[in-house]
Amino acid sequence: MGRFIKSNGMHRTLEGWPLVFTVLTTLAILVGGLVEFLPLVLVNSAVDRIETVEPWTPLELEGRDIYIAEGCNTCHSQMVRPFRHEIERYARNGGGYSKAGETVYERPFLWGSKRTGPDLAREGLLRPQALWHVRHMEDPRSTSKGSIMPPYPHLLEKDIDFDGLTAKLRTLKQLGTPYSEETVKNAASIAREQAQTIAKEVEEQGGPTGLENKKIMALVAYLQSLGTDVADPEDDVANAESASDDADVTADASR
Ligand code: HEC
């Protein structure tokens, strides 16, 4: 140290003036911080955008909030990593591994790393059927033998707060999510319409009736949408192959 900081050098002198030294250190940190931070804010292309990725519909957004409120994200991740075994398990019906551009409208993101249950990033492609989700949420063990997932029967009883949706969309719009003014204003009726469609789907599949205002409809809309923005089965093969080049995978039996 003595070689760099002379006992009577400039640095020692500065250190002897606590106030001046504090001000200069703060300045240095501020300038350094801005240099690192500003490009991320100013350059819009810092994230590779994906054209097909759209903001949540009002009902899906409500479902996402229920998902967070119920703590689903404490057991389920939403990020398929670029490894062949992950793609074959979680993205077997398309979508490939997760990309940054998919989560541009996520506030907060729900990538997670804890997987007590399976990853759900591609759930809409794996299980598009509404009734399956209704039954599974009401009693997971009725669809998945021996499941340790807790039941959520109250979601079939409690009503969706449709009137609160405009405020939620407006907030997101202010933060930059490209919702049109019309969507923001009519959020409640757009959501009601989508909920009715799903309720009808459940009925047609032989499920319970009268669910059109229930929270379960929002959650199902959300689960059904997961991964569908990037569904491209052809892409998937390419993804799996390029991923297996990067990843440390065991010998591929098909080669
Ligand atoms: C205690 C951990 C835990 C919590 C909390 C939890 N899950 Fe699960 N989840 C699991 C497990 C384990 C499975 C696998 C067995 C099964 O299908 O039930 C699963 C399976 C699923 C599946 C089926 C995935 C597939 O394609 O096989 C969905 C969808 C799902 N959970 C959604 C949810 C939602 C929505 C919530 C919140 C309302 C939730 N989970 C809360 C543990 C959990």
Q: What is the DSSP string of 85-99?
A: HHHHHHSTTTT-S--
Angle 52-228-127 (CA atoms, 0-180°, nearest 5)? Answer: 180
| Mean pLDDT in order along the chain per 10 residues (255 residues) | 69 91 96 91 76 94 98 97 95 93 93 96 96 98 97 98 97 95 97 98 96 98 96 55 44 36
Could you identify the residue written with the tokens 């569908």? 228
Q: What are phi and psi of 159, to 5 degrees?
A: -85, 150
pLDDT at residue number 253: 36
pLDDT at residue number 48: 78
pLDDT at residue number 5: 64
- CA-proximal residue: ligand 1, atom 15 (nearest): 147
What's the CA-to-centroid distance between 196 and ligand 1, angstroms? 24
Is the C-beta atom of 151 inside 6 A of ligand 1? no
Which one, of 57, 30, 155, 55, lies nearest residue 107 by Cα?
55
Ligand 1 atom at minimum distance from 152 CA:
38
Q: What are phi and psi of 56, to 5 degrees?
A: -60, 145
pLDDT at residue number 11: 86
- Residue 159, beta-bridge partner list: 214
Is the C-beta atom of 153 inside 6 A of ligand 1? no
Is the C-beta atom of 90 inside 6 A of ligand 1? no
What's the CA-to-centroid distance between 54 and ligand 1, angstroms? 25
pLDDT at residue number 238: 46
Burial environment of residue 97 by CB neighbours within 10 A (0 to 12, 13 to 18, 19 or more): buried
Is the C-beta atom of 213 inside 6 A of ligand 1? no
Is the C-beta atom of 70 inside 6 A of ligand 1? yes
pLDDT at residue number 4: 63
Is the C-beta atom of 129 inside 6 A of ligand 1? no
pLDDT at residue number 1: 55
Ligand 1 atom at minimum distance from 219 CA:
35
pLDDT at residue number 60: 98
- CA-proximal residue: ligand 1, atom 7 (nearest): 149
pLDDT at residue number 12: 86
What's the CA-to-centroid distance between 68 and ligand 1, angstroms? 13
What's the CA-to-centroid distance between 75 and ligand 1, angstroms? 7
- CA-proximal residue: ligand 1, atom 12 (nearest): 117
